């Protein structure tokens, strides 16, 4: 990480100086109350991921060690887990901030099953986890480093043969997290 070390946060802290829209404290508080940030903080403690303040009122849990989920970064409540060596960009922070807002809108932990349903839908519809995933699209595919793929199936299930140039990309997934 390129960010300088700062002391670990207590729950509910972590604003970015000089740029805090009024919704951020509300989102921070709500994601604590709905337990999604609590889950993130407990997971960070169990996995011994150091916590540092992050933009958008988020908390970064660095050095996430597990293989699942496969994204380079992912968000649980207001806690953004990042893998070792990932350099977070302003775009990625905006993307992950969008997921934190989604947790708030989903009343916290219901985000998780809803997200996995969206992953399943996207895999069926487009063949990847993000292109038709409502949560990733809302957080911003490009911000998350995802390349949008055209649908491979119509709504009624028929497989599409059309392959518009430049829309099918079998490259590696972007850094946007699977939960993130
Ligand atoms: Zn994402």
What is the 159 CA–ligand 1 centroid distance (Å)?
26
Residues 34 and 78 in one domain: yes
pTM of the model: 0.78
The alpha carbon of 95 and the centre of ligand 1 are apart by a number of angstroms equal to 6
Cα 165 to ligand 1 centre (Å): 25
Count of domains for the chain: 2
Is 3 part of any domain? no
pLDDT reported for residue 160:
77
97 C-alpha to center of ligand 1: Å? 9
Residue 93 included in any domain: yes
How many residues appear in the chain?
Answer: 180
Q: What is the mean pLDDT of each run of 10 residues along the chain (180 residues)?
A: 32 42 87 98 98 97 94 96 96 98 98 98 95 97 94 80 48 48
Taking the centre of ligand 1 as the mean of its atom positions, its distance from the CA of residue 161, in whole angstroms, is: 28
108 Cα: distance to centroid of ligand 1 (angstroms): 16
Domain around 61: 23-107
71 is a domain residue? yes
Residues 38 and 72 in one domain: yes
Angle at alpha carbon of residue 51, lines to 86 and 113, rounded to 5°? 75
What's residue 109's pLDDT? 97
Task: Measure 7 CA to ligand 1 centroid, in angstroms.
Answer: 26
Gap from CA of 19 to ligand 1 centroid (Å): 22
- In this prediction, residue 172 carries a pLDDT of 41
For residue 128, the CA-to-ligand 1 centroid distance in Å is 13
Q: Judge whether 173 lies within some domain.
A: no
| CB distance 60 to 100 below 8 Å | no
């Amino acid at each position: 990480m390129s960010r300088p070390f700062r002391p670990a946060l207590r729950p509910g802290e972590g604003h970015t100086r000089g740029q805090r829209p009024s919704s951020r404290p509300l989102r921070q508080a709500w994601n604590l109350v709905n337990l999604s940030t609590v889950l993130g903080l407990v997971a960070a403690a169990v996995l011994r991921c150091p916590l540092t303040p992050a933009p958008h009122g988020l908390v970064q849990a660095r050095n996430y060690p597990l293989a699942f989920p496969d994204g380079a970064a992912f968000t649980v409540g207001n806690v953004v887990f990042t893998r070792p060596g990932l350099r977070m960009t302003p775009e990625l922070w905006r993307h992950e901030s969008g997921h934190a807002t989604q947790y708030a809108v989903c009343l916290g932990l219901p985000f998780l099953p809803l997200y996995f349903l969206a992953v399943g839908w996207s895999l069926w519809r487009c063949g990847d986890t993000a292109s038709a995933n409502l949560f990733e699209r809302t957080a911003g595919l490009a911000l998350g480093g995802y390349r949008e793929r055209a649908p491979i199936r119509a709504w009624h299930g028929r497989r599409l043969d059309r392959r518009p140039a430049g829309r099918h990309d079998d490259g590696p997934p972007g850094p946007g997290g699977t939960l993130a």
